[in-house]
Chains A and B, each alone.
Chain A
Amino acid sequence: TAGITQAPTSQILAAGRSMTLRCTQDMRHNAMYWYRQDLGLGLRLIHYSNTAGTTGKGEVPDGYSVSRANTDDFPLTLASAVPSQTSVYFCASSQGAGRGETQYFGPGTRLLVL
């Protein structure tokens, strides 16, 4: 099985443009997460979803939105990108609280906003 896939692998985006980062998992995990990783700051949670149809805000949600229409997909949208959103973005999933809390990570998307 593929586990978690993310697309694109990398992207250069002009400031002010919108973009959707895609994340798909084939493990039938209930919970999914989006993190950004920046040098010196570590991994920080942007948004999460405990189950299809629900989403919640993490530590750094401003400028990002998510949706969870089904179990497998959890896209992250930047409505109007700014240079401070330059980062590496990781999607993760887990079985869900009370059933399996280990999070498994996708390969990441490297985003440069100019």
Chain B
Amino acid sequence: EDKVVQSPLSLVVHEGDTVTLNCSYEVTNFRSLLWYKQEKKAPTFLFMLTSSGIEKKSGRLSSILDKKELFSILNITATQTGDSAIYLCAVGNSGAGSYQLTFGKGTKLSVIP
């Protein structure tokens, strides 16, 4: 059974801190790893990673994948209160002609002024 484990489950930091969110996985037929940010409603897409060691970056957010050790990290530098959200990691696998995502339970990040 495919499994995606995120850690920590929750985290409280002060504005300006740097945080690292972790995602480890066990998935057959791995295709990609995706990070989403969920505030009050729908998850919104952040990154998709398919190759090891290549950092994806968007502003203060960055992410990298290690396909040998089966994990990814999401870094947020100089955190702001607007970064408060649940961050979801999902791993895509292909099998039987379809592509599906398996989600972790998420990391709830709270950034306090």
Contacts and interface: CB of A to CB of B under 8 A. Distances in A.
Interface of A: 31, 33, 35, 40-45, 48, 50, 56, 58, 90, 94, 96-97, 101-108
B109 to A, nearest CB: 16
B103 A43 contact: yes
* Secondary structure call for the B interface: strand
Contacts of B27: none
27 contacts: A31-B99, A35-B103, A42-B103, A42-B106, A43-B90, A43-B103, A45-B101, A45-B102, A48-B98, A50-B97, A50-B98, A50-B99, A90-B42, A90-B43, A94-B99, A97-B31, A97-B99, A101-B31, A101-B48, A102-B34, A102-B45, A103-B101, A105-B42, A105-B43, A105-B44, A106-B42, A108-B42
B23 interface: no
Contacts, number: 57
Interface residue SS majority, chain A: strand
Given A42-B103, A101-B48, A102-B34, A56 B98 contact: yes
Given A40-B105, A41-B105, 8 more contacts: A45-B102, A94-B99, A97-B31, A97-B98, A101-B31, A103-B34, A105-B36, A108-B42
Interface residues of B, number: 24
Contacts of B100: 33, 45, 48, 58
Nearest to B41: A107
Interface string B65-107: 0000000000000000000000010101010011111111110
